Each structure stands twice: as C-alpha cells, then as structure tokens.
Amino acid sequence: MLPTPLSLTARTLYSELNELAISLGVSEHLGRAPGTISRKSVKGADYLYYQYRDLDGRTRQAYIGPDNEATRARLKDIEARIADRESDLARLNELRAAFIAAGGTAIEHTPMRVLRGLADGGVLRPGLGCAQLVGTYAFIALGNLLGVRWASQIRTQDIDLAGTADIELGVSRPDIPTPEILDQLGMGFIPVPTLDPKTPTTSYRVRGQEVRVDLLVPLRGKPASEPVFVPSLNALAQPVRFLDYLLESPVAVTLVGRRTQVLANVPAPERFALHKLLVSESRASAFAAKAEKDRMQAGQVLQVLLQEAPDGVEAAKSDLVSRGKGWAEKFERALKKCQKDFPDVVNWLRGF
C-alpha cells in the first residue's frame, strides 16, 4: 500500500498555508471569529468595548476605555490590527480551499468542529509543553505535511489528545478544562464510564455517534490505572505506556477542514511511525485489526521518510532501542510482521 504523492501545486499551497498559519497562530487561536467595536452610554458618558462571542456562543464585551481622544487613538491601533488579521485570515481561507481543490486531504466536518472548539478553548496550540494531537488525525495531518495522500482509508472518529504531567514554565494552561470545552460545544458529549465507578473518566463521546475524545498522558514506571492531571489539557488523563517517546519533538501543523483550519501540535513523523510499531505489539489478540492498522500507518509514513527525509529516522530508532530490552524486542517483532508489505522499509531500518 503506497502513498500517492500530491502534486507540486498542492505541496506548495500547503507549505504557504502552514507557514502563514504558524506565524499567526503562535499566540492566537485560529478560527475564532474576530470581534467588533461597540459603544455604550452610561449616565450620559460614552464608553468603548470590544465585543465578541465566546465558545458557547454568548456575547462578551471587553472594556477599552472612555470615548475620548486617547481611547480613540488606541482604538485606531486595535482596528488596524483587526483589519490586518482579517486580511490574513482571508488569505488562509483562500490557501485552504485551493489546497483541497489540488488534492489535499480535508478532515470531516464533525471531528473538525471538535478540533476547532478545542483550539478556540486554548487546548490546541503550537509549542513545547502544549498538548499534542495523536492518533488518526495526526496521521492525516502528517500526510498533508509530507505531501502525500495515504493509501489506507480513515474510518475512525476518535480524537486522541496527549500531554505530559510535567509543569512547563512559561506555558499557560487553558482557562477552561477540556471536558467543559467539549460540553460547551453543544454536541452532546458525555463521560465514558470506567470499570471502576470511583475512577474519574478520561474519555468523552457524543451520545448516539462514533465521535470520541480520549485524554492521554505518558506512563512511566509501574502500571497505573489512576488518571493524572495534565496542565496543558487542564484535565485528568489516562496514563499510557510508550507515550513519552511519542511526545518528544512535536511539530506544528495546520489541520485542514472544508470550512476552517486549526493549528496544532502533532508528533514528529519518524517518532509517530516507530511508536505505531511499538503499539502494534502491545495490543491484545482481540485487537488484531487495530494492530494491523498501526503497522499500515507506520509503514506508509516510513516509506515517505525513506525517500524524502531519512536523516531523523536513524536517531529516532536509536533512541527507541536504547530505552530497554522490552522496547527493542517489541520493535523487532513488529518489523518481522511488516516484512511482507514493506520490505524496503524493514531492510532500511535494520541497516542502522
């Protein structure tokens, strides 16, 4: 199953889209509707406010100052910034539409609505120490970033978010906990019950649909079932083995929908692929189909990296096998199972 290279036009469009999105989105959330300036009279005096809608659609107002010369001068500066931002957002929309028309992969409406809500709530943002999007939607994003369309079909609507429990100085946590952001979307998210009623949930799904959000954190040391608080999610998350390897060296990417775009962290492609191989050997026999999907995704990413960016894979493999005998053994077993479908990739990985 070979990925299909996107055209040079599509690759160029995504590169420009991603570059502009990152330059705008480092300190702001893409997709949030810009506000307007409003005037309010109180006891005969006029005051100026910045009016906008929050995540749950309610109108909010931020005080600017009295309607006088000093405030109007400040207002001109604010309006100029809004105008520049509107122009840049219009350009982003043009690039997004052109990229999709040129063959780029767009995320479906329902998961994109969730991802945009998470971005507007401050959960998805670029930078070290911030939450990362992992799993299927990271795979889709990496395809656009690497300039290919994946051969395997995307059927899941699970959205996996991961962060570390380490406190990162200089990284602000979202003002609203992730579960509250999901609730404010008005899509019907409900907590997924755990086997132990006393254990808080770390998963949420939309009633009657397949849309699900799982909150994850790396598991270090002995197995643990108790959720761990993650500052970048402002929520409890489920500890998962091998996740610490995946989350090192994140990459900022633009998630593309048909109506909007969202900036987010995803794992580096070489770590994403090698982690998938590890995970495939950690699944119970009842989840053989998921293990096969893990290997298919890993093989496709590695095929692209073999041709386009081989340098980072050797370092990522070296790091993986240095983490212990169990890690190395799982990795080797996964390679054996990939030999038939991805012989060039397996021979390449065994060559260093």
- Least trusted range by pLDDT, from 20-29, 36-45, 129-138, 223-232: 20-29
169: exposed, middle or buried (Cβ count in 10 Å: 0-12, 13-18, 19+): exposed
Q: Is the pLDDT of residue 28 over 60?
A: no
Task: Give the DSSP letter of residue 286.
Answer: G
- Least trusted range by pLDDT, from 6-20, 73-87, 109-123: 73-87
Q: Is the pLDDT of residue 79 over 70?
A: no
Query: In whole angstroms, what separates CA 108 from the centre of its chain?
Result: 15
Nearest to 268 by CA among 247, 289, 237: 247
pLDDT-derived band at 128 (thresholds 50, 70, 90) equals: confident
Q: Taking residues 318-327, what's their average pLDDT?
A: 94
Residue 350 CA to residue 352 CA, distance in Å, equals: 6
> 245: which residues sit within 8 A by CB, 6+ positions away?
271, 274, 275, 278, 319, 320, 323
Q: Which residue has the higher pLDDT, 185 or 157?
A: 185
Q: Is the pLDDT of residue 249 over 90?
A: no
- Least trusted range by pLDDT, from 216-225, 289-298, 341-350: 216-225
> 144: which residues sit within 8 A by CB, 6+ positions away?
6, 14, 99, 104, 105, 253, 254, 256
pLDDT-derived band at 25 (thresholds 50, 70, 90) equals: low
Do 227 and 253 form a contact (C-beta atoms < 8 A)?
A: no
How big is the chain by its Cα radius of gyration, in Å?
22
Q: Can you tell me which residue has the tokens 């060559």?
A: 351
pLDDT-derived band at 154 (thresholds 50, 70, 90) equals: low
Report the b/e string of 251-269 with b at 16+ CB within 10 A: bbbbbbbeebbbbbbbbbb
Domain boundaries, the chain: 269-352
Q: Taking residues 227-256, what's their average pLDDT?
A: 93
Considering the entire predicted model, what is its pTM? 0.83
Q: pLDDT tens across 213-225, in order? A: 999 999 977 776 7
Residues facing 36 on adjacent strands: 51
Q: Is the pLDDT of residue 197 over 90?
A: no
Q: How far is CA 328 from CA 52, 135, 274, 279, in A?
A: 53, 22, 11, 12
Q: Is the pLDDT of residue 119 over 50?
A: yes
- Least trusted range by pLDDT, from 22-31, 99-108, 140-149, 162-171: 22-31
Nearest to 6 by CA among 15, 317, 56: 15
pLDDT over 70 percentage in the chain: 88
Q: Is the pLDDT of residue 173 over 80?
A: no
Do 60 and 52 form a contact (C-beta atoms < 8 A)?
A: yes
State residue 60's pLDDT score: 60
Do 316 and 268 form a contact (C-beta atoms < 8 A)?
A: yes
Q: Is the pLDDT of residue 31 over 50?
A: no
**What type of residue sits at position 311?**
D
Q: Is the pLDDT of residue 208 over 90?
A: no
Q: How far is CA 176 from CA 172, 179, 180, 181, 300, in A?
A: 12, 8, 6, 6, 37
